[in-house]
Chains A and B, each alone.
Chain A
Amino acid sequence: MESLKIDDSNTDNEVFTKQNGKKDQAVTKPIAIDSTTGEVVVRKSTGKAKIRKGQSEEEYQNQLDHYFNVEKGPTITEDNWMDSIDPLDMLNDNIENDLSIKNVRHKLTSFCERYYYYKRYQECYNLAIKLREKYQAINKKNKMDREIEGLDYLIDKCILKGDIS
């Protein structure tokens, strides 16, 4: 089988290599292997050819289905979107709000941070206490220590600044 080669015929490519005298300066022209899937060959830093796998029509249709029907397009964050959501409801166990997913935890912590920004210390405190409890329960190998420390900071500061009951 003939080995794959990158097209180095571009004159600019030669100019670059010579002028710079450095490695990794050549310009890659990807070679399309399969135009129906988008499979291309590019060059790795070592200069060797690397195949970037294509995406079959079936895989793409699955992504389209998920994107338009499940994700409903890109994430929309209007001003005040958090007002319409009770973060404590999000803490109920379900797949959508799986706390082992970092993005879910980030979203929940953002509610705390927003309360803190608006000086709503009591609400911030209540949520941070609940989140800390939940996060600690799933903190394996101390991977979430930093997030828990962040909540501890909020709890301490809320006690200091607010009239916490």
Chain B
Amino acid sequence: METKKKVVIPRPKPLTSENDPLHIIKTRMVTHNRPATIAGPMVRYSKLPFRQICRDYNADIVYSPMILAREFVRNEHARQADFSRNSSDTPLIVQVGVNNVTDLLKFCEMVAPYCDGIGINCGCPIKEQIREGIGCALIYNPDLLSSMVRTVKEKYKDTLRLETKIRIHDDLDTTVELCRRVCDAGADWITIHGRTRRTRSSQPVNLDAIKYIISKIKDKNIPVVANGDCFQLSDVTRIADYTGANAVMAVRGLLENPALFSGYGRCPWGCIERFWYRTIEYTCLPFQLTQHHLFCMLENMQLSKSLLKELMSTKSLPEMLDWFEDNFELKRYGEKGFGERVEIPYIKIE
């Protein structure tokens, strides 16, 4: 019987000062006089076109949506649906949903050549994932989490960056203990979302909790990223100053205004044009997702409810494009002024 040749697995992507997320997080304050800015992971939404417009507007590091390791390592269709990239999609952290060491190691092997770091999702509060021991369940399973971190870091050392994004516990000292264990296991940095598993996003983030945890793990000398309620550029400095975090992650704020890290108080029109261009070029977004992205941005720009309703009634990408043409002056890539305007260029007078 013929023995199958063992597959040659590419090495992790080389890390330089340009793409090493740890280096960026540690040095942005010195090089740019501000904390590092990070576009966090959103289920479904953090796909390539959206990642690229976040980069257009000053996001230093961008996350993929959570990818389930179990599916990724077993199913080619899941891989094709979950992960597409290009040469300018960097620095990129691929976030993974995982509940065992074996799947995580396999996932790292398959993804490390194509990204700049891997983040373990320990914050997703969706009950279907928690039942599987994925996402937020991991903050209640420190043995497994630290074992996953340790195994990956022992194998890859500094050739692969590994992050954990956690939520806080009701008892903050439990979170401190978890973070200390994750640090000891070798995580490169920790992202802390200042909400518990049950805190609704309508409730304000607990920055005091993040500050407390950072103060208690200072001796570990590991960078911390603060996550929660970053909606304006001014929030970046405020959150970092208050908590002592090295970097700030925005998530929901970017969905409404991907230009927030550039200092735009509201989503600029140029962002809409850029998003259209990226969506058309990369072809990886289903129509409904594209429509929802545009809805979030236009709502942030305070487009009237009647027009938003019209937008949502369009049934296909070409029909939605025609709706834009009918109502606004939409520039294409290559046209003068493409992606630069701030205000909505209405055609019809409302």
> Which A residues are closer than 8 A to B by beta carbons?
10, 12-13, 15-16, 19-20, 24-25, 27-30, 32, 35-38, 40, 42-45, 52, 54-55, 59-61, 63-69, 71, 73-82, 103, 106-107, 110, 113-114, 116-119, 150, 153-154, 157
A-B CB pair tally, cutoff 8 Å:
157
Collect the chain A residues with CB atoms within 8 Å of residue B80's CB: 71, 75, 103
Collect the chain B residues with CB atoms within 8 Å of residue A77's CB: 48, 84-86, 281-284
Collect the chain A residues with CB atoms within 8 Å of residue B131's CB: 24, 28, 42-45
25 residue pairs of the A-B complex, CB under 8 angstroms, read: A12-B169, A27-B137, A28-B130, A28-B132, A28-B133, A29-B137, A42-B99, A42-B132, A52-B132, A59-B74, A60-B73, A61-B6, A64-B9, A74-B83, A74-B85, A75-B80, A75-B284, A76-B86, A77-B84, A106-B283, A113-B280, A113-B321, A150-B316, A150-B318, A153-B319
Collect the chain A residues with CB atoms within 8 Å of residue B101's CB: 32, 35, 38
Bound together, the chains give a CA A10 to CA B141 distance in angstroms of 8
CB of B293 within 8 Å of the partner chain = no
Bound together, the chains give a CA A65 to CA B9 distance in angstroms of 9
Most interface-central of A36, A76, A118 (chain B CB within 10 A): A76
Partner of B7, one of A42, A43, A59, A64: A64
Q: How far is the CB of A23 from chain B (nearest CB, A)?
A: 10
Q: Are A116 and B321 in contact (CB under 8 A)?
A: yes
Collect the chain A residues with CB atoms within 8 Å of residue B197's CB: 16
| A24 touching B110 in the complex, CB below 8 Å, given contacts A40-B133, A113-B317 | no
Please encode chain B, from 274 to 290, with 1 for each CB lying within 8 Å of some chain A CB and 0 for all others.
00100011111000000
CB of B50 within 8 Å of the partner chain = no
Residues of B in contact, count (CB < 8 Å): 58
Collect the chain A residues with CB atoms within 8 Å of residue B99's CB: 30, 40, 42
CB of B200 within 8 Å of the partner chain = no
Q: How far is the CB of A64 from chain B (nearest CB, A)?
A: 4
Q: How far is the CB of A30 from chain B (nearest CB, A)?
A: 4
Q: How far is the CB of B314 from chain A (nearest CB, A)?
A: 11
Collect the chain B residues with CB atoms within 8 Å of residue A30's CB: 99-100, 132-133, 144
CB of B302 within 8 Å of the partner chain = no
Q: Are B133 and A42 in contact (CB under 8 A)?
A: yes
Bound together, the chains give a CA A153 to CA B321 distance in angstroms of 12
Partner of A55, one of B73, B140, B317: B73
Bound together, the chains give a CA A36 to CA B100 distance in angstroms of 11
CB of B189 within 8 Å of the partner chain = no
Q: How far is the CB of B39 from chain A (nearest CB, A)?
A: 19
Please encode chain B, from 93 to 128, with 1 for each CB lying within 8 Å of some chain A CB and 0 for all others.
000000111110010011001100000000000011
Q: How far is the CB of A83 from chain B (nearest CB, A)?
A: 10
Bound together, the chains give a CA A19 to CA B127 distance in angstroms of 16
Q: Are A64 and B110 in contact (CB under 8 A)?
A: yes
